[in-house]
Amino acid sequence: MKKITCIMAVLLLSVCLIPGVFAQTLMSDEFVGTEQDLQSFWQVKDGDKSPWELQDGLLVAEAGFDQNVWTDDTSTRFYQITDQQQFDIETSMVVDYADACTVAGIIVYSATTKDHQDRDGQWVTLKLWGRGAAQGNNAVLQYQRRQNDDAALGYVGTQVDYNPDQGVIPIELRVKRDGDDYESWFKPNGEGDWVSVSTVTNELEDPLEVGLYVGICEGESAIGRMTVTFDYFHEASSPATPVDPRDRLAVTWGGLKGQ
């Protein structure tokens, strides 16, 4: 019995020490590295579908086709695993797309939560939805759970007064968790003050997969394309204060809050 107990203790300790297995505290990242040298606290889902690399402090992904976050999550997703009850994360991204349905943004994903249609997997996502020719070749901001953007629950199908044309679109996104409540903001053109989107309640079971994603949500075509360039991923500042993301080291956000 004592031997079994020791073995279990060693196994548990090993899991805790392996980077990226379960990073209970989210980590900031300025994406400093080369090629596919992401820091060990990141995991990548379906990375072969959207070729990506680190370039001069940027995470750059060429979105693949038939990838979406709506009915199912079929995107290329970069995520960390956490059970933090409170966090406040933001990213800055530049989306360059044309002639296709595209998605890119922040996601908080729970594989163990049943969604409102009793399917395994539920999430909260703040995303830029690039639309193709059938809808005017322009983009909208959405705040959704799985296959649902019910405004009565606080979700947003189309953010008011934001409708940029296809092409190069800079934007900053932010999502805050406080227990089961999730609040979001964005910065049009990636500058100025944070603009409030909404607050929703979604009972997501831990652990959560928190991070970024990209995808072209239609079949392959000769003209459809999207490149997404992420500048950083880290803890947010106050809603009214512009954030300077440069010159920050990879530290735990829990450590930042304790200073």
- 207 and 138 Cβ atoms separated by less than 8 Å: no
Neighbouring-strand partners of residue 176 = 88, 183
If pLDDT is split at 50, 70 and 90, which confidence band does 17 have?
Answer: very low
Q: Whose CA is closest to 126, among 69, 184, 187, 189? A: 184
If pLDDT is split at 50, 70 and 90, which confidence band does 238 have?
Answer: low
Residue 12 has pLDDT above 90, yes or no: no
- Predicted confidence at residue 24, as pLDDT, reads 81
Average pLDDT, integer, range 71-87:
98
- Predicted confidence at residue 212, as pLDDT, reads 98
Tell me the pLDDT of the chain averaged across its residues. 87
Average pLDDT, integer, range 217-225:
96
Q: Does domain 22-239 have CATH number 2.30.130.10?
A: no
User: How many residues are recorded in the chain?
Assistant: 259
- Predicted confidence at residue 241, as pLDDT, reads 45
Average pLDDT, integer, range 59-80:
98
Q: Which residue has the higher pLDDT, 246 or 68?
A: 68
H or E stretch at 112: strand 102-114
Q: Which residue has the higher pLDDT, 45 or 243?
A: 45
Q: Could you tell me which residues come within 8 angstroms of residue 118 by beta carbon, excluding any fewer than 6 positions away? A: none
Average pLDDT, integer, range 183-191:
96
- Predicted confidence at residue 131, as pLDDT, reads 98
